[in-house]
Structure 1
């Protein structure tokens, strides 16, 4: 537990100190390094991860794959509960807690998404969003080995979520814990097989496309998908990803 606490504190300090390192004029100061990691990820994906994900999708029946996805999404709901509370979004936290309880019980440990069938909305939040909500800027764009697009802030948030909030981290057996994370990775990759093919075919520069799409998506998530326009700048909340508190 002490080691986990140190990792959480270190991630918070790192995100806070480095969030301002990237200037607004250069959102990708580490582009040379990032493109190298992106190329490595693309090669590893095409050689190993994508074929495994394709075989998984071909062999596993659709109901089984849906059950696996629902199970891991339900575990992720626990992370969302904590981060909604940290942002004082009490109603959303209660909704996520309700989803977790319903799916963990009536949904047979989350294998069935009963809550969605009952019309209970999802309010996913992670610690990177929590940091952005409280004014921590993106920092430099960063491509992580195997994990893909991120930023300095979101990388720190990922460490906190993984070490402190993710229920899988509290599984005592390291082998079981690693197998669970591997299965989650393969399942998620199998869901994006058609999209990855379209990206390779459509984008002139897949790296730049992925970077810009990620940054825009994170901005929308932090602002709860509310976008201000020139006509109503005074009425709507402004993007908070650059470190300005709401």
Structure 2
């Protein structure tokens, strides 16, 4: 199934035939009702409809995107593919910057802005990722995570045509993210060309993951749904803890330093107790054990020859 691509992918949905086909598939499933049985996942009340769209996406991917991606990978050298990946990554950093600002992550927003400037200038328009080599890591965010940070619930799981796994909240984020994509403001011919290159390049990068999914998953739909939901929850929790973590690390460092300090102060207290107890200094007096050589006073035993004065007995 197609993975996440540039938000400008919404252009593909404007194709009349594809839009009509997907609309017909959605309406046919909705006509059967979206109610689920007792075994249904409570987070996926739209599972019947989602499975149909998932199947359509998977078919398009199997017979369309995958062959194109394999051909692209076969004829394009790895350095060129890496440059294309870096280029689109640099474009997406614009959206990352805006969302980090909206989430109040000043440090991440600053680093992202520096990444854009460095990669755009020194990286030749983003073809080379100079910023990462310089220690400026990427802080990926999207508007769906921003809404989650603001307290908007995820809502039911949702599979979007072409786009893939999402949720009610994240689908709103996808629509908003279109306007954060610099390619959206280009001439339609350039925009659509960039979108196509991004789709094929991204799909080529995910060929290994697709093979693993096909071999390991008994139910691809359930596997993708659970993996997506867990991943989004992880990113959201990580995002919520991002701001406090800068201070928490400092506090934990201070606490760890305070503990050894307290132990160090307690240790000198023991010698103090030793000084208060005279018996402790007596231990150094144990060198008095050499007084044992005073045992040679036993040579006083030779004084026993004084026994001869017993001649007085004579």
TM-score, normalization by structure 2 = 0.63
Do residues 149 (structure 1) and 165 (structure 2) align? yes
Give, in angstroms, the shift of residue 224 of structure 1.
Answer: 1.7
Which residue of structure 1 lines up, in the alignment, with residue 84 of structure 2?
68
Q: 1:225 to 1:161 in 2, by over 3 A?
A: closer
Do residues 201 (structure 1) and 237 (structure 2) align? no
Do residues 57 (structure 1) and 73 (structure 2) align? yes
**Pairs aligned (count):** 202
- What does 1:1-246 align with in structure 2 at a 5 Å threshold? 26-162=42-178, 164-171=179-186, 173-224=187-238
The runs of at least 4 aligned residues of structure 1 exceeding 2 Å deviation read none
Give, in angstroms, the shift of residue 169 of structure 1.
Answer: 0.7
- 3-state SS of the aligned residue for 1:27? coil
Cα deviations by residue, 1:18-60 (Å, 9 ceiling, x for unpaired): xxxxxxx710011000000111111111101100011011111
Structure number with the higher helix fraction is 2
Give, in angstroms, the shift of residue 116 of structure 1.
Answer: 0.7
Q: 1:208 to 1:132 in 2, by over 3 A?
A: same
Contact 1:127 1:158 in 2 (8 A): yes
- 3-state SS of the aligned residue for 1:84? helix
**C-alpha separation between the residues in 1 aligned to 2:137 and 2:105?**
14
CA RMSD for the aligned pairs? Answer: 1.5
Give, in angstroms, the shift of residue 175 of structure 1.
Answer: 1.2
**C-alpha separation between the residues in 1 aligned to 2:174 and 2:118?**
26
**C-alpha separation between the residues in 1 aligned to 2:140 and 2:206?**
19
Contact 1:139 1:153 in 2 (8 A): yes
Give, in angstroms, the shift of residue 119 of structure 1.
Answer: 1.4
Which residue of structure 1 lines up, in the alignment, with residue 278 of structure 2?
none
Contact 2:149 2:239 in 1 (8 A): no
**C-alpha separation between the residues in 1 aligned to 2:96 and 2:240?**
19
Q: 1:226 to 1:85 in 2, by over 3 A?
A: closer
- 3-state SS of the aligned residue for 1:92? helix
- 3-state SS of the aligned residue for 1:108? coil
- The range that moved more, 138-147 or 207-216, is 138-147
